[in-house]
């Protein structure tokens, strides 16, 4: 899979997504966070309303059916950027995921590069926060994030708070 050639990136607010597009996104989020990671929680929350959503849509080779049998592109990568002062003082990255069938080809790095570029435009000069699964600390460190708190449990998974200054967020 050529990570760059087969993905169309969309940087949108929730109200700019069609019902069908949002259905693809929320289904993928539930598949990863609720089913795969066994975290039974209400994934769709009020923060979706005050966030930018970065969605990596598949190329023509990955089509999915909805309940009516219509085919559409699959969401294969996703994250949201919550507006500053909605959850934290800083804007924050959350709900980062890659569809299981597309893992292991560098798509997580492509997603982070894209979001760091977009955050620089949307929130110039502002720090960026992430609540990261602890085992991904090294991955996020590569994008300028540093740990700013103790390890804590979220739904049975160790997490850490991390913060990045836009001047430090490289890659």
pLDDT in tens, 37-81: 888 877 889 999 999 999 999 875 555 555 555 556 889 999 999
Please tell me the distance from the alpha carbon of residue 79 to that of residue 17, in angstroms, as a whole number. 14
Residue 49 contacts by C-beta under 8 Å, 6 or more apart in sequence? 14
Q: In Å, what is the CA distance from 145 to each residue of 21, 83, 118?
A: 30, 18, 16
Q: 121 φ, ψ to 5°?
A: -75, -40
pLDDT in tens, 2-37: 555 589 999 999 999 999 999 999 999 999 988 988
**Sign of the alpha-carbon torsion through 134, 136, 140, 141:** positive
CATH of 7-126, picked from 3.40.630.30, 3.20.20.210, 3.20.110.10, 3.40.50.670, is 3.40.630.30
Please tell me the distance from the alpha carbon of residue 23 to that of residue 21, in angstroms, as a whole number. 5
* Residue-range domain boundaries for the chain: 7-126
């Amino acid at each position: 899979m050529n990570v760059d050639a087969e993905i169309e990136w969309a940087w949108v607010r929730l109200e700019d997504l069609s019902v069908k597009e949002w259905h693809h996104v929320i289904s993928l989020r539930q598949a990863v966070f609720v089913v795969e990671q066994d975290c039974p929680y209400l994934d769709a929350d009020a923060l979706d309303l005050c966030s930018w959503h970065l969605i990596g849509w598949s190329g023509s080779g990955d089509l999915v059916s909805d309940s009516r049998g219509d085919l559409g592109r699959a969401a294969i990568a996703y994250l949201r950027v919550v507006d500053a002062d909605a959850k934290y003082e800083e804007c924050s990255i959350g709900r980062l995921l890659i569809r299981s069938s597309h893992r292991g080809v560098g798509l997580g790095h492509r997603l982070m590069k894209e979001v760091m570029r977009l955050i620089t435009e949307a929130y110039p000069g502002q720090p960026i926060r992430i609540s990261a699964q602890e085992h991904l600390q090294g991955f996020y460190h590569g994008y300028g994030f540093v740990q700013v708190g103790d390890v804590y449990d979220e739904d049975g998974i160790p997490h850490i708070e991390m913060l990045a200054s836009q001047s430090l967020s490289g890659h």
